[in-house]
A and B are shown apart, each in its own frame.
Chain A
Amino acid sequence: MEAACDFCNRRQWKLTLLTPYVTDWGLEKIDPLLQALDTMAPHGTEVVVNDWGVLRQVANRSNADLLVVLGRGLNRMFRDPRVPDVGPEHLGGDAPPSAWRSASHQSQGFRTMLRSAGIQRIETDMPMQGMQDLDPDEQDLKLSVHLPYGMVASGRICMMSALGQSASVRFPPPRACTAPCHDYTLELRAPWTRRAVGAGRLPLVAEDSFLPLDHVLNRRRNAFPAHENDDAPRFIQKGNTHFYCLDEEKVDSALDWVHRNPTADRIVVAPDVPM
């Protein structure tokens, strides 16, 4: 942390410290990082929090110069990658609910809580189904939009960390991790077709679908069909987290949204899966 502060100070760069959700042990690990920021942080340093406990820990420190940012983990929204393929037939004829295009940061009660907790900025993903515009009267909490990857789900149970581990430590939350995710990525090929392809019928595994019914699922494949010939959506698993990646059309749509909503004044670009 000290080296990072020194590096940024010499170049007059700003610094953002991204923190995960943690146990008490993790809180102890974060504390010295915050101590280093107390004395060396470049002006305008941000700490992104994805844990209510970390937020409390940061807020209780005396360094008033730190800007606290709510991470996208705590900014809840529907990032279900199946949503673009859901039709009224799944919903009993109902239209998709407006809540699917909303998020925590758009509710008054949540924003009130954030203000009292000293939050000055909120991070958000752009869900695959898009997001409704912000209230133009709400200008005080700025937004950072992550592109092109969005976080579908995460947790402490991690298949990847169990690679090569004995049965006794396989699959409960790992106490230690050799981080196979630094070497491997999983592509997840869905057992349904994209709605645009399957329009007019359920986008599910079916007799006339792309997968035969006797196909054994939940298996590793050496190769997938070429993207241009494949109707199945694909997602990514890195470590314990599933991600979607917005395609070019959806990225354009997200940029249009940013232009329409000036409160969203920052785009966080991840050139690769954010790990």
Chain B
Amino acid sequence: MQILCPVNSPEEVAPLVDAGADEFYCGLFPTEWYEKWGRGSWPNRRGPGPANISKIDDLARLADSVHTAGSGGPNQRRVPLFVALNQQFYPDDQADFLLGIAQDLQSRSAVDAFIVSDPGFMGLLKTEIPEARVFSSTVSVATNAQAVRFLADLGCSRVILSRHLHLAEVESLQQSVPDVELEVFLLNDNCYFEEGFCSTTHTMPGFGVYCMTPWELRVTRDDQGGQGLSDPEERARWDFLIDEHRRFLGNLSHRGFGGGRAAVPLGPCGLCAIPKLMDLGIHSGKIVGREASLYRKIRSVQSVRYVRDSYRETGDAQEAKKKAVELRADPRGCSSGMSCYYRSARDRDLIPLPSRSTKKPTRNATKP
């Protein structure tokens, strides 16, 4: 399984390749786009800022660094770079603008694939630049084999699966479409909603991310004409659920680094699933966070590589999972499962939770 890593600048490339990155992806928010459509409309799922590169020439320089990064090692190889043009849809003027950029990048051999979610734009790319490789973004929403096949029919050579699939569902997909490269999420950020079915602007200045909105909630019973809850027990059940749900929301994105020597990024994680995903033949595992610091990117790549290589070398899935849990150094987080992309891969017997029931005996307790 290839480790797919976000990248923003040529300076990041060498340390990330050293850490174990096999493939890179980046985002592009051209200055000309900003001048035409302002900051409220984006060419991909991130706004202007550190998650995106603003100049085509800078992207071309990044591509040079990426493509030559693997030439010095023992395994001479061209490291690929993919660029995300994965907004949910593009009006005609935006699609034409991006097509021009894609043609420019293709003519410079700067990009190895375009990550796209708008099927109309996929068709446009394949018509106008037949040699271009196109990947289907997770925003396209592929949750079944027929959807993968549909996207492959549109010319996508890789399909990035939904974040919200169980491992058994990924297995079913892989077995049904073995000829299509599949990519899955492995680390750092989750979405509350299915990204392709979330019609909100991703981050609106002054408002933040829609799914993190701190709503006030009123629960009503449909069979009581929209009246609020009156039964104290029923209210308590909902209060508990809402509290737990708030805790879950807090686990959907990066929440700092683990303790001790590990110091790896916490938050959504699929490390325990790596052995199974490798057995299935999943082509790539994605690390999220184009906007992240280089340190976070390096620690993310090292984390995935540590578990992947452990399984690759020993073939022992339990040992690899154990290493994943130790690496995270977050037993309570791992135990809750709230950060798992693939909760069924979690093995609670491997999680060293301190026992809650063990109390130090007091002097009085030792007396007969």
Contacts and interface: CB of A to CB of B under 8 A. Distances in A.
Interface of A: 21-27, 51-57, 73, 76-83, 86, 89-92, 94-100, 102-104, 106-113, 151-157, 159, 162-164, 167-168, 170-173, 175, 182-192, 202, 204, 217-224
Contact of A155 (B119, B154, B193, B204): B193
B316 interface: no
A81 B200 CA distance: 8
Contact of B144 (A53, A73, A95, A221): A53
Q: Chain A: interface secondary structure?
A: loop
A24 B207 CA distance: 37
Interface in B287-316: none
Interface residues of B, number: 86
Contacts of B239: 219-220
Top 9 A-B pairs, shortest CB-CB distance: A110-B120, A109-B120, A53-B146, A94-B38, A217-B214, A53-B147, A79-B199, A97-B41, A155-B194
B199 A220 contact: no
Contacts of B206: 86, 89-90, 202, 204
Nearest to A171: B248
B14 interface: no
Contacts of A172: 164, 166, 337, 340, 343
Contacts of A218: 214-217, 242, 246
Given A151-B199, A188-B217, A219 B118 contact: no
A23 B197 contact: no
A21 B248 contact: no
A106 B120 CA distance: 11
B91 A52 contact: no
B262 interface: no
Contacts of B223: 183
Contact of B229 (A108, A192, A222): A222
B169 A155 contact: no
A152 B164 CA distance: 18
Given A51-B143, A56-B146, A190-B213, 15 more contacts: A53-B148, A78-B200, A86-B204, A90-B205, A91-B205, A94-B39, A98-B37, A103-B89, A107-B91, A108-B120, A153-B211, A155-B198, A185-B222, A186-B220, A222-B235
Contact of A192 (B89, B194, B207, B218): B207
B336 interface: yes
B198 to A, nearest CB: 4
Given A95-B38, A155-B192, A162 B92 contact: no
22 contacts: A23-B172, A26-B144, A52-B146, A52-B147, A73-B197, A76-B88, A76-B196, A91-B205, A97-B37, A98-B41, A99-B94, A104-B88, A106-B91, A110-B119, A153-B197, A156-B162, A156-B194, A162-B244, A184-B219, A188-B213, A204-B206, A222-B228
